[in-house]
């Protein structure tokens, strides 16, 4: 049972406080949490579950906002983390994004959503389709009416019909002139390459995202060509678990609109699509750096939006870097960003230059870690492939569309 939820800005300011039970949680717990987060060095990488002297704390970090929940009683930690993720997803969907200004401008709707999503500390209604029927999303018209009438509430007077349905994630009277469904495979590659160029870790986190515009109560069946490679699968509540357990088939009645059908991991991949080769030497107070980027394994599709970022060590006084392709920017925070875009066919992109060390330091002792970004449209590098998608209970033949995208997640090259 959760007792309180706080929303904190990236400076530690309490933007919103929602007490959930009769036991009031003092705001001083936020000060304790923020001091703990700062002691970790990076507030975005704090452990999701923390035991303070007085409370158990659960937190997630989204778009510069920390969602913090507190309790003094034993409870499943994954339930608390999952609920905070649902809150963040619903707010992002309602407000068209997630940042400090949007939260402050729409705090009434945020409170109304929390009132419906959790009751006396226990999660209640978390399906976006039902919430949209209960609480109207913010719009210019609703804001003008609230000023004119003095009524700022967006809560409907009637209970949505789906709350009593066996499929509460879908409204019962959905109708479309054209029935269509789109399935996207979206993957992120996480990799660590050590200073010797050896691949230490390479795995993919993927999501099956669906955009459904189907009439009535359709029944869908989706199968993969190679489901055995999937690990750590996580399903939307609409999926029937028994068909997956027996035949590894996804059978479900979809929500209306966009939703995440499932997520998965594919571990122990053997290679990456691109390579990054850093070389750093230092002597007599000066450091020389060179960096090469190229295609290691051609995926058969164009690799776009290639970027390399790295943080210069504090002992660097100045840097003079240049590249033969793309643009190089050095920010005031000593973070270097190299935007490459696409790799040309006639040359290998490279960056080189000198770094001046602070006085009294002969050699560089702290070496940067290079963060790599890229995007590949039209392919899932994990090897996951959709075999077929069958649809039933539809009045007309629907249109089915499939896409795939792979991008870099936490892709690090150490020097």
pLDDT per position as a tens digit, 55-107: 999 999 988 899 999 999 889 999 999 999 999 999 998 888 888 888 888 88
Residue 220 CA to residue 182 CA, distance in Å, equals 12
Segment 332-357 mean pLDDT: 90
Q: Are strands 231-235 and 118-119 parallel, antiparallel or unpaired?
A: unpaired
pLDDT category at 204 given cuts 50, 70, 90 is: very high
Q: Is the pLDDT of residue 152 over 90?
A: no
CB 383, CB 414: distance < 8 Å: no
Q: Over the stretch 212-248, which tens digit does the pLDDT of each residue have?
A: 999 988 999 999 999 999 999 999 989 999 999 999 9
Task: Return the number of other C-beta atoms located less than 10 Å from residue 412's C-beta.
Answer: 19
Q: Is the pLDDT of residue 262 over 80?
A: yes
pLDDT at 129: 76
DSSP string, 123-165: E----HHHHHHHBPPP-HHHHHHHHHHS----B-SS--GGGGS
Q: Which residue ranges form the domains of the chain, and what is each CATH number?
A: 4-149 (3.30.450.60), 180-269+381-414 (2.60.40.1170), 274-377 (2.60.40.1170)
CB 8, CB 84: distance < 8 Å: no
pLDDT at 316: 85
For residue 327, give the 3-state DSSP assignment.
strand
């Amino acid at each position: 049972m959760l007792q309180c939820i706080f929303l904190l800005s990236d400076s530690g300011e309490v933007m919103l406080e929602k007490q959930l039970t009769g036991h009031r949680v003092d705001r001083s717990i936020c000060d304790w949490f923020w001091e703990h987060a700062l002691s970790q060095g990076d507030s975005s990488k704090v452990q999701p579950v923390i035991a303070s002297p007085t409370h158990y704390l659960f937190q997630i970090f989204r778009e510069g906002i920390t969602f913090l929940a507190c309790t003094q009683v034993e409870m499943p930690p994954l339930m608390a983390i999952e609920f905070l993720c649902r809150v963040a997803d619903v707010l992002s969907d309602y407000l068209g994004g997630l940042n400090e200004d949007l939260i402050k401008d729409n705090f009434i709707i945020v409170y109304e959503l929390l009132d419906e999503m959790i009751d006396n500390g226990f999660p209640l209604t978390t399906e976006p389709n039902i919430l949209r029927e209960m609480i109207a999303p913010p719009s210019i018209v609703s804001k003008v009416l609230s000023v004119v009438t003095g009524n700022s509430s967006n809560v409907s007077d009637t209970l949505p019909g789906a709350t009593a349905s066996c499929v509460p994630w879908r409204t019962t009277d959905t109708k479309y002139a054209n029935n269509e469904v789109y399935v996207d495979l979206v993957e992120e590659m996480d990799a660590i390459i050590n200073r010797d160029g050896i691949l230490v870790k390479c795995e993919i986190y993927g999501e099956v995202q669906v955009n459904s515009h189907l009439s009535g109560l359709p029944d869908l069946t989706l199968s993969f060509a190679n489901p055995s490679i999937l690990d750590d699968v996580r399903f939307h509540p609409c999926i029937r678990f028994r068909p997956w357990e027996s035949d590894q088939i996804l059978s479900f009645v979809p929500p209306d609109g966009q939703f995440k059908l499932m997520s998965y991991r594919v571990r122990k991949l053997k290679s990456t699509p691109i390579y990054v080769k850093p070389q750093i030497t230092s002597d007599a107070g000066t450091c020389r750096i060179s960096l090469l980027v190229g295609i290691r394994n051609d995926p058969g599709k164009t690799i776009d939006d290639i970027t390399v970022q790295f943080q210069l060590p504090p002992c660097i006084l100045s840097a003079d870097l240049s590249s033969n392709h793309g643009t190089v920017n050095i920010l005031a925070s000593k973070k270097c960003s190299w935007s490459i875009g696409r790799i040309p066919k006639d040359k290998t992109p490279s960056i080189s230059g000198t770094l001046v060390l602070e006085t009294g330091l002969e050699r560089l002792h702290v070496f940067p870690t290079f963060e790599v970004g890229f995007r590949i449209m039209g392919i899932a590098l994990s090897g996951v492939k959709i075999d077929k998608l069958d649809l039933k209970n539809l009045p007309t033949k629907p249109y089915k569309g499939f896409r795939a995208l792979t991008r870099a997640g936490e892709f690090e090259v150490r020097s």
